[in-house]
Amino acid sequence: MGNTSFTLTLVVALFAGMLLAIELGHRVGRRSQQLDLEGAHSGTGTVEGAVFALLGLLVAFTFAGAATRFDGRRQLIVEEANDIGTAYLRIDLLPADARAPLRALFRRYVDTRLAAYQQPTIEEAYAKLAEVAALQDQMWSQATAGCQAAAPQPCAILLLPALNAMFDIVTTRTAATMMHPPAVIFGMLCGVGVLCAFLAGYSLEPGKRRKWSHSVTFALVIALTVWVILDMEYPRLGFIRVDTFDRVLKDVRAGMDR
C-alpha cells in the first residue's frame, strides 16, 4: 500500500473511530443518568480539560514539527542547487583538456539526482542514490587528477572544497527524508483524539436531541489535521509536495547546456 493510500485509510479510520467514540460516550453518559448514579457527571470537567489540553499540545507539536521539516527540505534543495552551481563554475580552474569530461559527469550527476526523487518506490530511489555515489567517486578522481596537473594551490583550495560541499548535501538531504517523529507520537495523537471524542459524547446532555453536525465537524477537523501533518511529513509521496522546488535544480541543469 502506498503512502497516500495508507494515510487516507488512517484518516478515514480515525474519523469513523471518533464518531463511534462520541456515540459510545453519549450512551455511557445516558446510561449513567438512567441509573441515577449520584454525581455521574461531576468532576468530569477537570478530566476533559486536561485531556483536551493534551490533544491540543500534541497537535501543535506535531504540526509545527512537520511544517518546520517541510520548509527545511525545501531549503536543502536550494542549498544543493547552489553547491552544484558553484562547483560547476570552478571547473574552469582545471586544465582545458580536463574540463569537458568533468562537465559531462556533472550533467549526468544532476540528471541522476533529479531522477532519484522522482522514483515511484523507495527501493528505486535508493538505486539511483547508489548511481549518485558512483558518479561522485568518478568526479572526485577526475577533479583531483586535474588539480595535480594545473596550478595546484588555487584549484585545490577552490574546486575540491566545492565538490566536497556538493557531495555532503546529498547525505544531508537523504537523512532529512528519514527525520520523522516516532510512530508512537502519531499513535498517541490518534488515541487521544478518540478519547477526547468519547469524553465529548459523555458530556452531552442525555435528555436533549444531539446535533450531529457538531460531532461530525469535531471529528472531521481532527482527522483532516492529522492528514495534513502526515502529508507534510512525507512531501514526496502525498498531496503536499516539494516537487516545485526541484525547478531550482532543473534550472542549474539547464544552465550546463549553454
pLDDT, residue 1, reads: 45
Torsion sign over Cα 6, 11, 16, 22 = positive
Q: Which of 235, 253, 240, 238 is nearest to 76 (CA)?
A: 235
Using 50 as the pLDDT threshold, list the residues of the chain that sit under it. 1
Give the chain's length: 258
- CA–CA distances in Å: residue 23 to residues 177, 198, 243: 39, 8, 42
pLDDT, residue 47, reads: 81
pLDDT, residue 186, reads: 93
How does pLDDT run across 48-77, given as a tens digit for each residue?
Answer: 889 999 999 999 999 999 999 999 999 999
Burial class (CB in 10 A: 0-12, 13-18, 19+), 26: buried
pLDDT, residue 157, reads: 87
180: Cβ contacts below 8 Å, ≥ 6 apart: 69, 233
256: Cβ contacts below 8 Å, ≥ 6 apart: 88, 103, 106, 107, 110
* The three grid cell numbers given for residue 81, joined into one nine-digit string: 542547487
Residue pointed to by grid coordinates 476533559: 48
